[in-house]
Structures are given as C-alpha cells and as structure tokens.
Amino acid sequence: MAESSQGTRLRVYITDENTPSTVGATQIKPPNPKPVRVQVPHLESTHIDKLTIDVVDQGEMTADFFALKADATHVQLRRDMVTRPAPSRKWDLVHVTVDPDTEVESVTVLDTFHATLIDFPRTFQERQPIKGSLTLDIDDIPEVNPE
C-alpha cells in the first residue's frame, strides 16, 4: 500500500451532523477519489456529479473480523442503498496520525461534503482483505471551470 494513503479514512455522519462514524476499517487507495464530471453547457463548465472511492482494509482485517465489526454504520449504509429516496449524508475525508511516543491520535479533516451513497462493496471472500468501491452522488461540490 502506498504510504500516501496511510492514515486516510472516510467518515460519515449517520445519526447527526456532529458525530461521525468511520466507514469500516478502510483506507483510500491511490489514486485518490476519482470524480465523474458532467458537462453543464449553459455555464460552460463541468459539475462533479459522482465520486468513486476505492477502499481496502489494512491487511490484517479479514472479512470475518470485519463482519464482526460491521457496526451500526455498516448496517445503516446498506439500508441507505435500499431506502427511497436515499438519504443524503455528510461525509469527511480525514487523515489520522498516531504519535508513536504518546499513542495520541490526531485527526485532520481534508474535505467535507454531502453525498448520497449509491454503491457499496457487497461481497467479501472469507479470510481475504476487503476491497471494493463506494460510489457517492455528490450534493454540494461546487461547479468548477475546467480552464
């Protein structure tokens, strides 16, 4: 795993806007999240419509262990996918570092956005690392001019 992704986590706010939950034990794999841009002709710009985030566990996490750790966050995200209309949630992309001497965890928020989950890894092989993609329909990333 590339060092640049070490410590990167995706958090989602399930119950309220102040208490985030980390999505599983995931890391963002390089390359970083890939946007899907949709043309907006009357504005002569593009709009980021969806974000696909590749996730992978830390290596020692097996599907068995993850299933045991599939807490309310994991269950709720799966419910979101079958709820109509699907709820939009607040998400954070964060970087977590741990001081080796004090073991104190420090969290830096890299980005915050609102999005609706539209795809989530569904199948895991027993005792294999969890891999897959989350696909989020972005609600509030502003339009950007490609020039």
Full pLDDT tens readout for the chain, 147 residues: 334 456 777 778 877 777 777 665 455 554 445 555 555 555 555 555 555 565 554 444 555 555 555 455 666 777 777 787 888 888 887 887 888 898 888 888 877 888 888 776 655 555 555 566 677 777 765 444 444
Domain locations in the chain as residue ranges = 3-138
Give the up-direction half-sphere exposure of residue 81: CA atoms within 13 A in the CB hemisphere. Answer: 14
Q: Which of 127, 125, 112, 124 is nearest to 11 (CA)?
A: 112
CB-based contacts of 59: which residues, under 8 Å, 6+ apart?
1, 129
Q: Which amino acid is at 16?
A: D
May I ask the CATH architecture of the domain 3-138?
Irregular (4.10)
Q: What 8-state DSSP symbol labels residue 45?
A: E
For 35, phi and psi rounded to 5 degrees?
Answer: -80, 150
What pTM did the predictor assign?
A: 0.60
